[in-house]
C-alpha cells in the first residue's frame, strides 16, 4: 500500500473514510434497530454503510502502521495505535448485528409461522445497539488520541511559535 499520496501521509486521508462512515453507520444502525419503519426502509442502506466502514478500518490500520514507523516513537502515538486495534472487532460486531436485523426481518416477512422471529429480532437489536454504542465511543477515543498525538505541542510553551 502507498505510504504517501502527493507527498502527504496516506493515513490521514484514509482515516476520513472511517471518520465519516462509522458515525453514519452508528447512527443509522441505532435508528434502524429502534424504529421498525426505518428498519423496513433503510436496513439494507445501513448494512451497506457498515460494509464500507468495516472494510475501511483495516486500511486505516495498515496506513497507520506505515506512518507509525516514520514518526518518532511517543507514548501518545502508542496509545492511539492500541486504541485503534480494538476498532475492527467492534465494527465487525456492529456489522453482524445489522446483518442479523436484515436477515431476521427478511425471514419474518416470508415465513408462515415464525413465532421465534420476535426473539431473534430482539437479540439482533440488542447486539446492534450495544455494538453501535461501543463502536461510537471507541472511534471518538481513537480520534481524540490521534489528535493529541499530532497536536499536543501546539499552544504549549514548548511548542510555541512552531508550525504544526
Write out the three cell numbers for 52: 464500507
Domain assignment of residue 131, given as a range: 4-151
Q: Is residue 93 part of a domain?
A: yes
Give the pLDDT confidence score for residue 12 in this predicted structure.
86
Report the predicted TM-score, pTM, of the whole model to 2 decimal places.
0.86
Q: Is residue 129 part of a domain?
A: yes
Q: Is residue 164 part of a domain?
A: no
Q: Is residue 72 part of a domain?
A: yes
Q: Is residue 37 part of a domain?
A: yes
Q: Is residue 20 part of a domain?
A: yes
Please state, rounded to an integer, the average pLDDT across all residues of the chain.
89
Give the pLDDT confidence score for residue 132 in this predicted structure.
98
What is the per-residue pLDDT across 18-31, written as a single tens digit (0 to 9) for each? 999 999 999 999 99
What is the per-residue pLDDT across 121-163, written as a single tens digit (0 to 9) for each? 999 999 999 999 999 999 999 999 999 988 887 766 554 444 4
**Cβ within 8 Å of residue 39, ≥6 positions away:** 32, 33, 101, 105
| Calpha distance 79→145 (Å, rounded) | 7
Count: domains in the chain: 1
Give the pLDDT confidence score for residue 152 in this predicted structure.
80
Q: 36-70 and 10-34 helices cross at what angle (nearest 10)?
A: 160
Write out the three cell numbers for 156: 504549549
Amino acid at each position: 500500500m502507498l505510504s504517501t499520496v502527493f507527498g502527504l501521509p496516506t493515513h490521514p486521508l484514509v482515516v476520513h473514510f472511517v471518520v465519516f462512515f462509522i458515525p453514519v453507520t452508528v447512527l443509522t444502525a441505532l435508528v434502524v434497530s429502534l424504529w421498525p419503519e426505518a428498519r423496513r426502509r433503510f436496513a439494507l442502506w445501513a448494512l451497506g454503510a457498515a460494509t464500507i466502514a468495516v472494510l475501511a478500518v483495516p486500511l486505516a490500520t495498515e496506513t497507520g502502521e506505515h506512518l507509525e514507523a516514520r514518526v518518532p516513537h511517543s507514548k501518545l502515538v502508542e496509545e492511539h495505535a492500541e486504541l485503534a486495534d480494538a476498532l475492527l472487532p467492534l465494527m465487525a460486531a456492529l456489522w453482524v448485528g445489522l446483518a442479523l436485523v436484515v436477515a431476521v426481518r427478511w425471514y419474518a416477512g416470508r415465513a408462515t409461522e415464525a413465532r421465534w422471529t420476535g426473539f431473534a429480532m430482539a437479540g439482533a437489536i440488542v447486539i446492534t445497539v450495544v455494538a453501535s454504542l461501543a463502536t461510537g465511543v471507541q472511534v471518538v477515543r481513537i480520534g481524540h488520541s490521534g489528535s493529541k498525538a499530532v497536536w499536543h505541542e501546539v499552544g504549549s510553551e514548548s511548542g510555541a511559535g512552531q508550525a504544526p
